[in-house]
Amino acid sequence: MRSSSSERGKGEPQRRSKSKEPRTEIVPLAEDGPDTYEALAEATSKSSLLDRFNTAFHEALQNRRGANRRRPGSASGIGAGEHVTADDLAIRRAQYVTPRKMTIPEGVIVDGSLSSPAETEIDGRIQGDVFVEAPLALGANALVSGKIQAAKCEVKGLVEGKVECSGDLVLSESGRLKADVLAGKSFTAAGRIDGDVICGGVLHVCSTAQITGDIRAKQIVIEEGAQVNGRCSMSSNPQQGAASETPMDSKPSEEQ
C-alpha cells in the first residue's frame, strides 16, 4: 500500500506537468503570422515604401512653400498663399521704395522731432527738432520750435531754434530766425534774424534784412537799407574764428 501511495505521489507531478504543456502553446507564433525570412522581408519592404512616400510628400510640400515665399522677379517677395501682416508688408515695400519728398501740410502739428532722408517741405508746425539730409523748404505759415539741420534750406516762416545748413541757406523777406545761424556755403538774408550769423562763404544781406547779432563770414555784401545791429567780421575760416578778422561797427542805414 505504501508503495502504491508513493507511486501515486510520484505520478501526480507528471500529470500536472502534462496539464501545463497545453497552456504554453495557447498563443502560437503561427497565429500572428509566418515567422519566416520571406514574411519579414515582405513586411519590411511595405514599411520602407510607405516611409519613402511620406518623405517625398513632405519634401514636395516644403519646396512648394519655399517657392511661394520668394518668387523670382517679385519686388515684395510675398507668395500668393503666404499670410503677412500690414507691418510686414510696409517694411518689405520700404526696402524697395526710394524716398522722393516729404510734405507737412498747413494745419498739421507734429509734436516731436522730425527726420527725413528726402526732400522735405513744411507748411505746418513742428514742436521739436528737424533733421533733413536733403533740401528743406519752410513755407510762410511754417513754425518750427526746435533746431534745424539740413543740407540746403529756404525759410519763409518762423524758426525758434538754431539753424545749421551744410549748403546754401536762403531767408526770405517773410522769414524770421530767433536763434543763431550757421551756413556752410552761401547765405542770403532778406528777413529778420535775432542771433549771431556765421557763414562759410558769401553772406548777402538784402535791403529788407534786419539782423540783431554779430556777423562772421568769409565775404560780406550788405545792401543799402539793411539793418545790422552788431559786429561784422570777415575771416578765411569763420567757423573756427581765425585770428585775421576785421571787426567794425555797423549802424542801421537811414531810411530814404
pLDDT in tens, 91-106: 766 666 666 789 999 9
Between 32 and 177, where is the model more confident? 177
Cell 521704395 -> residue: 97
Number of domains in the chain: 2
Q: Same domain for 210 and 228?
A: yes
CA dist 150 → 87, 98, 133, 135, 175 (Å): 29, 19, 6, 7, 17
Q: Band the pLDDT of 27: cuts 50, 70, 90.
A: very low
Q: Same domain for 182 and 233?
A: yes
Residue at 17 is within a domain: no
Q: Same domain for 152 and 241?
A: no
Residue 33 CA, chain-centre distance (Å), reads 67
Q: Same domain for 178 and 152?
A: no
Spatial neighbors of 207 by CB under 8 A, at least 6 apart, are: 223, 224, 225, 226
Q: Band the pLDDT of 59: cuts 50, 70, 90.
A: confident
Between 237 and 104, where is the model more confident? 104
Q: Give the Cα separation of 156 and 191 in Å (integer).
A: 8
Q: Same domain for 166 and 251?
A: yes
Q: Same domain for 244 and 188?
A: yes
State the pLDDT at residue 242. 36
Domain residue limits at 189:
162-256
Say which range, 40-49, 73-82, 86-95, 122-131, has the weakest mean pLDDT: 73-82
Whether residue 243 is predicted with pLDDT greater than 50 in this model: the reply is no
149 φ/ψ angles, rounded to the nearest 5 degrees: -130, 125
State the pLDDT at residue 225. 95
222 φ/ψ angles, rounded to the nearest 5 degrees: -120, 120
> How many H helices and E strands in the chain?
4, 22
CA distance between the termini of the chain: 165
Q: Band the pLDDT of 249: cuts 50, 70, 90.
A: very low
* Beta strands, E only, 3-142: 101-104, 109-110, 114-116, 119-122, 125-126, 130-132, 135-138
Residue 172 CA, chain-centre distance (Å), reads 34
177, 192 contact by CB (below 8 A): yes
Q: Give the Cα separation of 180 and 255 in Å (integer).
A: 26
Q: Same domain for 166 and 256?
A: yes
Among residues 115, 132, 161, the one where a domain terminates is 161
Q: Give the Cα separation of 219 and 196 in Å (integer).
A: 16
- In percent, how much of the chain has pLDDT > 90? 52
63, 79 contact by CB (below 8 A): no
Q: H or E stretch including 83? A: none
State the pLDDT at residue 81. 54
